[in-house]
Structure 1
Amino acid sequence: MCPSRTGMLAWLRTAGAIVVIIGLYFVAPMPWARSEADQPGLRAAVCLAGLVVLTWLLTRQVRRALQPERLFAERLEVLLIIVSLVVVFFAATYFLIADQFAGLRTRLDALYFSVTTLGTLGYGDIVPIGQGARVAVMVQVVFDLIIVTSALTIVVGGMRRPGKS
C-alpha cells in the first residue's frame, strides 16, 4: 500500500476511533451514577481497575507507535487516541461522582471538565467540592503529568528518529 493511502487510512481510523470513543461515552449505561446507595468503595475499585486498563492500553499504543515502519499519520493517530481515551475515562469518573461537584450535571459537563483539567485551564465554573471529587481530579492531574506526558514524549521522540514520514 502506498504511503499516502496508508496515511489517509490512519486519519480515517483516528477520526472513527475518536467518534466511537466519545459516542460510547454518551450512550454507555453508567449504573453507579446518581445511585441512591452511596458506594464509594465500589466506585473507587471501578476507577482503579479503569486506571490499570487505561495504563495498559496506553503502553500498548505507545509500543505500536514506536514501530519503525509507522508513518507520521499513524503515530499521530496514537497520540490522539491516547488523549481521547484519557479524557473520556476521567469524564466518566467525574460523571459517576457528579454529586461531589458544583456545576457538573450532565455528561457534557463532565467531558468539558475533563478537557479543561487536562489542559490545566480551570475556569472555575465546575468545582470539586467533595473529597472523592478532589481525589479524582488530583489523580487525573498526576496521571496526565506522568503517564500521558511520558507516552506523548516517547511517541514524539519516536517521530524525530529517521524513518518514514
Structure 2
Amino acid sequence: MKRPRQTEFFHVPRRRLLLSAARSSVAVILSVVVYCLVPLDRELDIGTAIALVVTLVLFAGVVAWQVRTIMRSGHPRLRAVETLATGGPIFLIIFSAAYVLLSKNQAESFSETLGRDDALYFTVTVFATVGFGDIVPVTGAARILTMAQMLADVVLVGMIARILLSAVRIAEDARSEGSREPPDSEESGS
C-alpha cells in the first residue's frame, strides 16, 4: 500500500492539510461577506447589547465544539491551528460590527465616524495592542466596549490557546499510549 505524502511540519498528508486550509478560508471568507452585507444600521438598545452577548456566547460554543473535535482528531495540531485560523478573524469581526453599530448610532463615540473598514482596522489595532491613536474611543459607551474587547482579547489569546494546547496534548497522549486511537474526525466529515 502506498503511503500518503506527508508534510514535514504537521506530519499529515498534504490532502488533509489542504482540506483544513480550505475549511478555514471558507469560514473566514463567509464571515467577511456576512460582515460586509448584514445591515448594521439598527438602533442601539438592550436588544443590541443582548445580540452582542449572544454572539460571543455562540462563538464560545463553537470554540468548545472545536476543542472536542481536536481531542478526537487523528491530527490534533492541525485541527488546533485550523480553529485558531478560523476563530480569530470571526472574533474580530464580531467586535468590528459592534463598533460600527455604536459609531452609526452615536457619531461622537470615536474620534471619527467608523465605517466597516475603519471599525475592522480599529478592532485589529486593539487586538494587537498597537493603539496607534488615530482612532480613539471618546464616550463612556465606546470606552466600555473597547475595554470589553481588550478583556475578551486576553481570554481569547490566553485561555483559548491553553485549552487548544491541552486538547492537542490529550489527543497526542491517547495516540502515543496506544490505549485507543482517537477517531479521525476529518474522515468522518466533521
1:57 and 2:67 matched: no
Matches within 5 A, 1:9-158: 9-32=19-42, 35=43, 39-98=44-103, 99=107, 100-158=109-167
RMSD over aligned Cα, in angstroms? 2.1
- 8 Å CA contact retained: 1:104, 1:110: no
For 1:56, the aligned partner's letter is G
Amino acid across the alignment from 2:23: R
Output the CA distance in 2 between the equivalents of 1:115 and 1:63: 28
Alpha-carbon distance, 1:148 to partner: 4.2
> Which sits farther off after the overlay, 104-113 or 46-55?
46-55
Ranges in structure 1 where 5+ consecutive residues have no aligned partner: none
Matched letter for residue 58 of structure 2: V
Q: Cα deviation per residue 1:28-49 (whole Å; 9 max; x = unaligned)?
A: 12241xx4xxx33232222222
Q: Name the CA distance, whole Å, in 1 between partners of 2:63 and 2:168.
A: 17
**SS of corresponding position for 1:45:** helix
In 2, the alpha carbon distance for the partners of 1:15 and 1:69 equals 21
2:45 maps to a residue whose letter is: P
Q: CA deviation at 1:60?
A: 1.8
Q: TM-score, with normalisation over the residues of structure 1?
A: 0.84
Which contiguous aligned blocks of 4+ residues in structure 1 show a shift greater than 3 angstroms?
156-164
Greater Rg by CA = 2
Specify the SS of the correspondent of 1:129.
coil
Q: Distance in 2 between matches of 1:103 and 1:61?
A: 37
TM-fit CA distance, 1:158 = 4.0
Q: Tell me how far 1:6 sits from its aligned partner.
A: 1.1
Q: Identity rate of aligned residues, in percent?
A: 27
Amino acid at match of 2:96: A
Judge conservation of contact 1:61–1:82 (CA < 8 Å) in 2.
no
Gaps of 5+ in 2: 5-12, 177-190
